[in-house]
Structure 1
Amino acid sequence: MSTSQDSSGAAAAATYQVAITEQRTGRILLFDRNAQWTDANVRWSFSTGNAPGWDHPFEIRFRDTRRYGMIALMTFGRPGEGRAAIVNVTSKAHLTRADLLWSARITSYPHCVERVPDAGTVVVAGSRDRLHVFGPSSSDPATLKEVQTLEFTKAHAVLWDDQNKLLWVTGGTVVRSYRVTGSMRDSRLVKHGPDIKIAGNGHDLQPDYSRPGTLLVADSRHVYSLNKATRALTTVASLPHPKSYVRHANGQAMWTTDPNAEDSVWGGPTVHFSAGGDRTRPGAQIYKARLYTTQFH
């Protein structure tokens, strides 16, 4: 990896857990970072059975709710047929589609999903140029229905910023922010501030847990640090086709890449760590790796 990131990225990792979206088997798997990533060491999982529209998991992230405790937000699918879904993480260790709290068919190839606390809003980034805004009629996610659809070129990632009360989105060659007005079924996104230009196709947005006040943005070949207050970008890494990138609070970076951009597989078998100790599942197709946390920054 060619990188200009600071030397704190080489700090030894604390023990924490990592969730991966494994597209070959249609599963989301949670492991201890320092364990061997074998089936015997799976701490939590969600399995789709690779049903139509549920294959190829693209996103997993964890959020806290007053009603259910921890939930998982997930997206799946192929071009023209996909799903966004919510499941209660605290119910049991190994879940399937029978355990869902909510799901919706998304035909714009959904790559990411986020929840806006208090408003109850759920936003799905459809990589075929759409943002889908869902609002509930109560605290039950089963009442979510689509209330707004916005055009956004190649929308790949969406992230709630609880410090500035903004929803950040990236896709194509821009990063954009929105205010969320209203709540529940009256929730709407309103563009806020100037667009931020990036070099390639935006793929991922994550907090930088080692640097509150900044986000990490991954495009086709770069990772940037974005200052949320000034909107200034700094390149922190050059990587071949990064699909996800995040930094732990202790400074260690974790990322996934597409090792062969010419084939139809969007991930490889390995999750990389700046402190070493990469983790590999032979034969796996890992699109994203996420820290097991509900924190926004």
Structure 2
Amino acid sequence: MMNPSSPQPGTAGAPVAAAAGDYKVAVTEQRTGQILVFDRNDPFTDHHVRWSFSTGNAPGWTHPFEVRFRDTRRYGAIALMTFGKPGEGRAGIVNVTAKNHLTRSDLLWTARITSYPHSIERVPHAGTVVVAGSRDRLHVFGPSSSDPATLKEVQTLTFTKAHAVLWDDQNALLWVTGGKVIRTYRVEGTLRAARLHRHGPDITIAGNGHDIQPDYARPGTLLVTDSHHVYSVDKARRAVRIVARMPYVKSYVRHARGQAMWTADPDIDDSVWGGSTVHFSSGGDRSRPGAQIYKARIYTTLFH
């Protein structure tokens, strides 16, 4: 069983070379209802799948939107995932190290989410799990112990078009984007007493906020996407600058070695939310014919 890659952050503000790296990439493949992990430099074919989670496209489990890998004391690496369609979705957690190919029978925890769940994150010190429902809310789940099976919803906050959540372990903040807003929250309390509280002024962006990722090449900054832009966000100064313009970008991240990776919707007029290609700034793109790839993630448990 593979271990999550651990890219080492570079120096904030230093020039970053776009070197092709050898790391693992997780994709959310919506046509087949799978999350698939590949080596970045391998073909993205069935033969080269290193790890997978398959839903069977069961009701509520269609269209994987998010996958995040996080460390826990109890299980080691876990995967947090969201799936679904408007009115019927799921959030779930699996033990990554259990075996190479998992299904819904391997879930440690799952919850029905009717607000079209697009993203999920775990706040480690609190044991809290936060799900962004892209219609209009944030769902906060707290456990009664270290067992994810004890998670239950303890708070619901209004957040129109909430699309992405990310924990910032450097500043102890939860970052959220949706609509034309980037917002931060403090997490106070632990387990089922954990609650989110708004912190600091909102940051305004031009389009519909879609994704938040660390910039592993520049600690202290985040990468945020909307319908037509990629932004670099200085976490300490809450300052935003545009680093790329591209249509309908769904996810964007930069490896510690400087290589950028992104996904986009090649045809906004169809009913599919992604394409068959994961794009890289160097070293060649990777395609999976017939796939509908929504997001691509660096396979790591690091927050920055």
Same fold (TM over 0.5): yes
**CA contact under 8 A between 1:138 and 1:184: conserved in structure 2?**
yes
2:93 equivalent to 1:86: yes
- Counterpart Cα distance in 1 of 2:116 and 2:203: 24
Matches within 5 A, 1:153-192: 153-192=160-199
Amino acid aligned to 1:288: K
2:200 alignment partner, SS class = strand
- Counterpart Cα distance in 1 of 2:145 and 2:57: 31
1:214 matched residue in structure 2: 221
2:21 equivalent to 1:14: yes
2:146 equivalent to 1:132: no
Amino acid aligned to 1:233: V
Given candidates 276, 287, 297, the residue that maps to 1:290 is 297
Between 218-227 and 9-18, report the one with greater CA deviation: 9-18
1:256 alignment partner, SS class = strand
Q: How many angstroms does 1:118 deviate by?
A: 1.6
Matches within 5 A, 1:40-189: 40-189=47-196
**CA contact under 8 A between 2:20 and 2:283: conserved in structure 1?**
no
**CA contact under 8 A between 1:10 and 1:275: conserved in structure 2?**
no
Matched-pair identity in %: 78
Amino acid aligned to 2:232: S
Amino acid aligned to 1:247: R
2:256 equivalent to 1:249: yes
Q: How many angstroms does 1:35 deviate by?
A: 0.3
1:193 alignment partner, SS class = coil
TM-score, normalised to structure 1's length? 0.97
- Counterpart Cα distance in 2 of 1:71 and 1:239: 32
Q: Which consecutive segments of 4 or more residues in structure 1 shift more than 3 A?
A: 6-10
Q: How many angstroms does 1:10 deviate by?
A: 5.8
Can you list the C-alpha shifts for 1:252-295, whole angstroms capped at 9, x where unaligned?
10000011111110000000000141000001000000000000
**CA contact under 8 A between 1:29 and 1:44: conserved in structure 2?**
yes
**CA contact under 8 A between 2:21 and 2:259: conserved in structure 1?**
no
Can you list the C-alpha shifts for 1:197-256, whole angstroms capped at 9, x where unaligned?
000000000000000000000000000000000000010000110100000001110000
Any unmatched runs of 5+ in structure 2?
A: 1-12
- Counterpart Cα distance in 2 of 1:64 and 1:133: 19
Amino acid aligned to 2:289: P
2:274 equivalent to 1:233: no
TM-score, normalised to structure 2's length? 0.95
Q: How many angstroms does 1:14 deviate by?
A: 1.8
**CA contact under 8 A between 1:114 and 1:159: conserved in structure 2?**
yes
- Counterpart Cα distance in 1 of 2:36 and 2:243: 28
Cα root mean square deviation, aligned? 1.2
